[in-house]
Structure 1
């Protein structure tokens, strides 16, 4: 299909120089992602990479007893399926759509071809991979050393960074499953954050009332992850003042 300006909603695609974007975006296929849809299973052969625009996807580690815990989330800042261009064909994690929305996908053979061209896309994807690894490492540290309330704050902030608006539909049970903690702990944490005036929670919807206060209540893990993404990747188009033209003209 011809290049589509909607692809600029993904920050990695928008970061490509104009000529690279025109070439690369013509290879992409638009897809709709439904909440709960499984894009990859642990150990499964990867057929595509995905560039989310409005969808958000959780990368989950699945234990032998079926329990899961989120190790990272990917939204409009990134790409799903890094194993394909990092030399592997499978991934140990399960990718599940957390928030329904749109994405662009690219066949496995095409992403390998583009990566091996060793152009701007290669450098951009390697820097994103480093940022994603930081998120995974910090998630492991946070789950081991910080309380449920701080984990909930970190998770909410990471989610907000990958969407527009300040409210999200999410049950406490689902948050508990993603964090790998008991639901009672999430209920207690959400109740305290609500009493502090940081969020409003009602019937599976969480509205953030005080973003700055939520950041203050979070542990350093959120700030470490955000700093690494900000350091390694270009800012969103609105911050870059691109006026709808993405980051074209900047060297990634």
Structure 2
């Protein structure tokens, strides 16, 4: 048995108008999200949306040859499955659990009904979607123009913002798949951060020791995404601890 996640643990659910949340509550189903679980595949119909509470989910684009790269991460600030209320019903990306935890699952039709019914909820969801698009666009730029070292710092910071503590469980192979780079590049970048005393890494376990230094070593992409997230999602308390 796992601890049942609560709607208040997802900041987007907590920010919904009280009447809208009350109507959704009977339909929210607690689910466990183990590491590596695929929530949906590219091109598949989206029948549910997921509101993570203490898990992180990566959205990946997968090429025909199997190569992949992450385009965004979603945690307790949002939801998985924006295509449901944007009218697409499917998406070319794959959603994979990056950090194990829990979520609340909701039938897509329930969300669409509420989205069309409540103007305040519609605005909130659209602002979240704009923040997600900003993250996707900045990730594309970062992957093209910045070093693996900088990309790893950005990725760690985005993940850290969506977790309650300073530790992540993630192998170098999985990080390489997320960033779309060779595993050796991630090994080298992680080794540099460890020698600088920024992280402690051992057997897939990453502990952030110096967040301030991690931000200094990251490219401007993290700051761009952070500013836009703070502007669009004032309900999401981005971390400033070290």
TM-score (norm 2): 0.93
Q: 1 CA distance for matches of 2:20 and 2:84?
A: 20
> Structure 2: how far apart are the matches of 1:206 and 1:5?
24
CA distance in 2, matches of 1:154, 1:5: 28
Deviations 1:118-171 (A, max 9, x none): 422111100000000000000000000000000000000000001011111111
SS at match of 2:72: strand
Q: Secondary structure, in 3 states, of the residue corresponding to 1:235?
A: coil
Alignment partners' CA distance in 2, 1:121 and 1:162: 22
Q: Kindly tell me: are residues 14 and 68 of structure 1, through their superposed partners in 2, closer, same or farther at Cα, counting changes over 3 Å?
A: same
Partner of 1:197: 197
Q: Does 1:121 align with 2:124?
A: no
Q: Matched residue of 1:224: which SS? A: helix
Aligned counterparts, 1:66-215, within 5 A: 66-215=66-215
The two structures, once aligned, show a CA RMSD in angstroms of 1.7
Matched, 1:57 2:57: yes
- Once the two structures are superposed, residues 33-89 of structure 1 have per-residue CA deviations (whole angstroms, 9 ceiling, x without a partner) of 121111111000110011110111110101010111111111100011111100111
Structure 2 residues not aligned, in runs of 5+? none
Give structure 1 stretches of 5+ with no counterpart.
240-252
Tell me if 1:217 matches 2:230.
no
Q: Write the distance in 1 (CA, Å) between the matches of 2:111 and 2:26.
A: 13
Shift in Å, 1:196: 1.1
Contact 2:59 2:73 (C-alpha < 8 Å) held by counterparts:
yes
Contact residue 15 and residue 234 of structure 1 kept, 8 A: no
- C-alpha distance in structure 2 between counterparts of 1:148 and 1:177, whole Å: 12
More off after superposition, 211-220 vs 191-200:
191-200
Aligned residues: 236
